[in-house]
Structure 1
């Protein structure tokens, strides 16, 4: 692996069994990402975006080829090692916020820190800092049912960022948001990317998300059709 790359994808093919033959969701994909990138996998449904994001997140493995994350070959990791990688270095943001309804905002954000066995004082400091990043520190004691859609997704961002991961993987993070909240969420992530140098990688077909990306990788039928660096199109407040 190129040690300047935080993510390296080499000759990646991913096949799924369908009836009497395999379906190739990804075909000979080659990509590298450096620390601090704000990049997106774009393309229509079925183009392979989520499959690629899941493999990078060690939630799935390649059929052929190699994917390295933080200098670790995904295919060589045990289940325990994959979980360790995700817990320490990767943050996930999904289309559905997946907040636990019986817990407060604070407790939802705190959860990953419990897995890291942080002290109570360390957890409180980190959680309140993460909530401050997304402008929701006053919501710490609220339950998810009391949040708007935009607020719920900002809590999900805080939950992903609270452990200060090297990489955040976001799968259609604005799909359930109106335009105003989508822009708030994207500005929040862009600000965190700038301040913390966290690498953000999106899977999206939302034009609002694309307008914030510094790099767009267009997938078509499981292949990289285009890989371009773009200038900032939105000013981050």
Structure 2
């Protein structure tokens, strides 16, 4: 029953999230979109509608994509069984992570407007969890967040975007609260999933001359690790 309630809450949250996805799913140098041209009269931007990973016929915004993505993320968090302020931190990442997943899939961009609130909100909620004596470790969460951010800054020197480093801070903190093993598992799952998708795209002769956005795999890997390690 709690899975159904979480999914329903995710549908509502996803509906509220859709305008932010449309506005931010644009190349960094372009002006923000105001409305989706597939759902309203033509407006600026709205690249997400044209380049979404699951495009709908006729170039319109994929129906319910934001809502379904957020509902699935919320259900994954609920299945992991986390409660309290730590559970709230997981739902916070599921919410903003759903938007970041869609945006990065569309335009290979993880905007500061979402990655920074994700990091600040996660650290604040984990601090509250520590103050309430919830099971977990805030020092370890901070250590993993620092290590993850530093690791992805090094990756950025090799061509990966700094947005991934900013995202890694919040994801690392969330995983580090649980254990170092959860953080390592999430990283392994992220790379395995990314490698599998890259192979499929190569077989289909797609993305041979472009990079594959890694943010979505980090987010999915984090949710999967939380589910497998029991929150």
Scaled to the shorter chain, the TM-score interval is: 0.3 to 0.5
For CA contacts below 8 A with separation 6 or more, give which structure has more relative contact order.
Answer: 1
Whose strand proportion is higher, 1 or 2? Answer: 1
Per the normalisation by structure 2, the TM-score is 0.35
By percentage of residues, which structure has more helix? 2
